[in-house]
Chain A
Amino acid sequence: MKKGIKKGLIAGFTLLLTAGLTACGNNNNANNSANAATDAPEATTAATNAAATAEATKAPAKDPVELLNVSYDPTRELYENYNKAFAAYWEQETGQKVTIKQSHGGSGKQSRAVIDGLEADVVTLALGYDIDALQETGLINEGWQNKYEHNSSPYTSTIVFLVRKGNPKGIKDWPDLLKEGVEVITPNPKTSGGARWNYLAAWGYALDHNNNDEAKAQEFVQELFKHVPVLDTGARGSTTTFVERGIGDVLIAWENEAYLSIKELGPDKFEIVNPSESILAEPPVAVVDKIVDKRDTREVSEAYLKYLYSEEGQTIAAENYYRPTLESVKEKFKDQFPEIKLFTLADKFGTWKETQEKHFNDGGIFDKIYVPGS
Chain B
Amino acid sequence: MNVSTTAAAQRKVLPGFGLTMGYSVLYLSLVVLLPLSALLINSTGLTWAKFWDVATDPRVLASYRVSLSTAAAAALTDAFLGLLMAWVLVRYEFPGKRIFDALIDLPFALPTAVAGVSLTALYSQNGWIGSLVEPLGLKVAFTPLGITLALMFIGIPFVVRTVQPVLEDLDRDMEEASATLGAGRWRTFLRIILPELLPALLTGFALAFARGIGEYGSVVFISGNMPMRTEIAPLLIMTKLEQFDYAGATSVALLLLLISFLMLLVINTLQRWARKGSR
Contact = CB atoms under 8 A, between A and B. Distances in A.
Given A12-B23, A12-B26, A370-B227, A191 B239 contact: yes
Contact of A372 (B125, B142, B228, B243): B228
A233 B238 contact: yes
Nearest to B246: A112
B139 to A, nearest CB: 10
A245 B117 CA distance: 11
Interface string A1-36: 111111111111100100000000000000000000
Contacts of B243: 190, 356, 360-362
B17 interface: yes
A237 interface: yes
Given A2-B4, A11-B22, A191-B235, A230 B225 contact: yes
B19 interface: yes
B211 interface: no
B21 A230 contact: no
A1 B26 contact: no
A232 B238 CA distance: 13
Interface in B209-230: 220-221, 224-228
B54 interface: yes
Contacts of A360: 243
B1 A2 contact: yes
B19 A7 contact: yes
Contacts of A2: 1, 4, 8, 18
A231 B226 contact: yes
Identify which of A3, A5, A133 gathers the most chain B CB atoms within 10 Å of its CB: A5
Interface in B99-154: 117, 120-121, 124-127, 141-142
B244 interface: yes
A371 B59 contact: yes
A-side interface mostly: helix
B27 interface: yes
A107 to B, nearest CB: 9
A190 B120 CA distance: 22
Contacts of A41: none
A4 B121 CA distance: 56
A5 B28 CA distance: 14
Interface in A326-374: 356, 360-362, 367, 370-372
Contacts of A267: none
B47 interface: no
Contacts of A6: 18, 22
Contacts of B228: 370-372
A356 B17 CA distance: 57
A188 B225 contact: yes
B33 interface: no
Interface residues of B, number: 45
A351 to B, nearest CB: 16
Nearest to B60: A362
Interface string B11-51: 00000111111110111001000000000000000000000
Contact of B224 (A5, A229, A246): A229
B126 A245 contact: yes
Given A245-B124, A245-B125, A8 B26 contact: yes
Contacts of B240: 362
A45 B33 CA distance: 52
B126 A246 contact: yes
Nearest to A111: B244
Contacts of A229: 142, 224, 226
B59 A8 contact: no
Given A9-B26, A233-B225, A370-B59, A112 B18 contact: no
Nearest to A364: B243
A185 B179 CA distance: 61
Contacts of A237: 220-221
A108 interface: yes
B22 A12 contact: yes
A112 B244 contact: yes
Nearest to B30: A16
A268 interface: no
Contacts of B58: 371-372
Contacts of A190: 239, 242-243
Contacts of A13: 26
Nearest to B227: A370
A244 interface: yes
A13 B26 CA distance: 8
Identify which of A7, A8, A10, A11 gathers the most chain B CB atoms within 10 Å of its CB: A8
A164 to B, nearest CB: 12
Identify which of A133, A191, A361 gathers the most chain B CB atoms within 10 Å of its CB: A191
A158 B206 CA distance: 49
Given A237-B221, A247-B124, A362-B54, A8 B18 contact: yes
Given A7-B22, A108-B241, A371-B228, 9 more contacts: A4-B19, A4-B22, A7-B18, A8-B18, A12-B22, A13-B26, A16-B30, A246-B125, A370-B59
Interface of A: 1-13, 16, 106, 108-109, 111-112, 115, 133, 188, 190-191, 229-233, 237, 240-241, 244-247, 356, 360-362, 367, 370-372
18 contacts: A4-B18, A4-B22, A5-B25, A8-B21, A8-B25, A8-B26, A9-B26, A10-B22, A106-B242, A108-B241, A190-B242, A229-B224, A230-B226, A232-B220, A232-B221, A233-B220, A246-B125, A247-B124
